[in-house]
Amino acid sequence: MTAKKALITGITGQDGSYLAELLLEKGYWVHGIARRASTFNTERIDHLYEDPHHPQARLFLHYGDLTDGSRLANLLESIRPDEVYHLAAQSHVRVSFDEPEFTGNCTGLGTTRLLEAIRSVGLPCRFYQASSSEMFGSTPPPQCEETPFHPRSPYGVAKVYAYWATRNYREAYGIYAVNGILFNHESPRRGPTFVTRKVASAAARIKAGLQDLVYLGNLEARRDWGYAAEYVEAMWRMLQQEEADDYVIATGTSHSVRDFVELCFEHVGLDWRDHVRFDERYVRPSEVDHLVGDAAKAERLLGWKPTVRTPELARLMVDAELGALSRPSVPAAPTPGRAVLAPVS
Ligand code: NAP
Ligand code: F7E
């Protein structure tokens, strides 16, 4: 049997890197779209990369941007993937208040551009949309597939648009298109400005004597935080079903930001009250107060169940930060292992 081909948008992000690992383990050929940047942005996937000239190479990177529809169509035409995992987005909620128009263009319209490219090329591929619990916004928990949306940020609004675009292409054109409605999922590869990574990093650095204080916003918000490495398995399972459908992925538990802070500082033997200060700039114009997912449908139909809960997640993230601090730093210059983007043909 020929190996399947997957295309991942957002392959350089947290989820993209775990998903690429998973698909390579499963024997897929993996193609990823990455943005051109003046510095390397492939740090999370460098360990997976092999020179594309190597006969064993199964991971290929291509330049592309969600705001460039013709490029997306050309890439789909030449790669002809069996499965498309659409993970790329401007994914930071606080930033979306500063850049609402860009967020709408990238996170919302970007999904339509990709779906329209699939339709116009006539590819019989399966499509995964990275939908988000932010779409539920202020609707009280627990939230499941039937819960009404009430987004509270330009990011949430853009994700609701993309969610409906995905359903519409499924209903209108019969495309196998699914929404994975994922609640917060974190890891040592989380972007450094999301609260879990920011706090885990601060706890480790304060313990090591490298800083004394960390500035945070709203400590009362509650989130359902799971482990990203487990969540990408659910994405893959969604594309292996007979029928396309939408699924919530979550742990079913919730903790406040304050709880997460306490867990991280406790793990390094410090009292968080001595080191955490308030800074208004991290407060959002409208907040999502309480998210707790009900992933019963995913357990029943996909056989997916999380094993890592928030307290263990906090400890593993702090341990990863401590480990990184104790290792000599890697030189910034390109190394042979660093991904060098290669043309597809
Ligand atoms: P992430 O770490 O922020 O990664 C986002 C990816 O999108 C990066 O590879 C980024 O490239 C790429 N990207 C951003 N703008 C782009 C553009 N204009 N064109 C092409 N690529 C672009 O996000 P993540 O945590 O892995 O999340 C993956 C997806 O799931 C996102 O769509 C996010 O909104 C959604 N989601 C995340 C969570 C969560 O808790 N993590 C929960 C629900 C849904 P650079 O590396 O160059 O920045
Ligand atoms: O904020 C509060 C903040 O930025 C969590 C994205 O992956 O998950 C993520 O969105 C909470 C919020 O994640 C700081 O107000 C306090 O209540 O880590 P976050 P998020 O907004 O939940 C969803 C599911 C996605 O889809 C998104 O793509 O923490 N908070 N103080 C803070 N947040 C940040 N970032 N920084 C602070 O200093």
Question: Average pLDDT, stretch 214-218?
Answer: 98
13 Cα to the center of ligand 1, angstroms: 5
> Going by CA atoms, what residue is nearest to atom 13 of ligand 2?
194
Which domains are present in the chain? 5-190+224-252+292-306 (3.40.50.720)
**Strand 222-223 relative to strand 255-256, pairing:** antiparallel
Q: What backbone phi and psi angles, to 5 degrees, belong to 260?
A: -65, -40
Provide the phi-psi class of 68: left if phi over 0, else alpha when psi is between -120 and 50, else beta.
Answer: beta
Instruction: Give the number of the ligand closest to the Cα of residue 291.
Output: 2
93 Cα to the center of ligand 2, angstroms: 7
The token duo for 220 is: 């009362």
112 Cα to the center of ligand 2, angstroms: 25
Indicate if 299 belongs to the active site.
no
Q: What backbone phi and psi angles, to 5 degrees, belong to 86?
A: -95, 95
Question: Average pLDDT, stretch 120-131?
Answer: 98
The pLDDT of residue 2 is: 84
DSSP-based three-state secondary structure for 24: helix
The pLDDT of residue 56 is: 85
- Encode pLDDT of 223-246 as tens digits: 999 999 999 999 999 999 999 999
For residues 311 and 330, give the distance between their C-alpha atoms in angstroms, rounded to a whole number. 30
Of the candidates 133, 160, 146, the residue with the CA atom closest to the CA atom of residue 292 = 133
- Encode pLDDT of 245-284 as tens digits: 999 999 999 999 999 999 999 999 999 999 999 999 999 9
Residue of 184, 193, 255, 275 to mutate, ligand 2, most atoms within 8 A of C-beta: 184
Average of per-residue pLDDT values in the chain: 95
Element (H, E) at 257: helix 257-267
Q: Flag whether pLDDT at 32 surpasses 50.
A: yes
Q: Flag whether pLDDT at 336 surpasses 50.
A: no
Question: Average pLDDT, stretch 78-83?
Answer: 98
Atom of ligand 2 nearest to the CA of 289: 17
Residue 330's pLDDT band, with cuts at 50, 70 and 90, is low
DSSP-based three-state secondary structure for 15: helix
The pLDDT of residue 339 is: 55
For residues 70 and 120, give the distance between their C-alpha atoms in angstroms, rounded to a whole number. 11
Q: Flag whether pLDDT at 129 surpasses 60.
A: yes
DSSP-based three-state secondary structure for 167: helix
Residue 55's pLDDT band, with cuts at 50, 70 and 90, is confident
The pLDDT of residue 51 is: 80
Indicate if 132 belongs to the active site.
yes
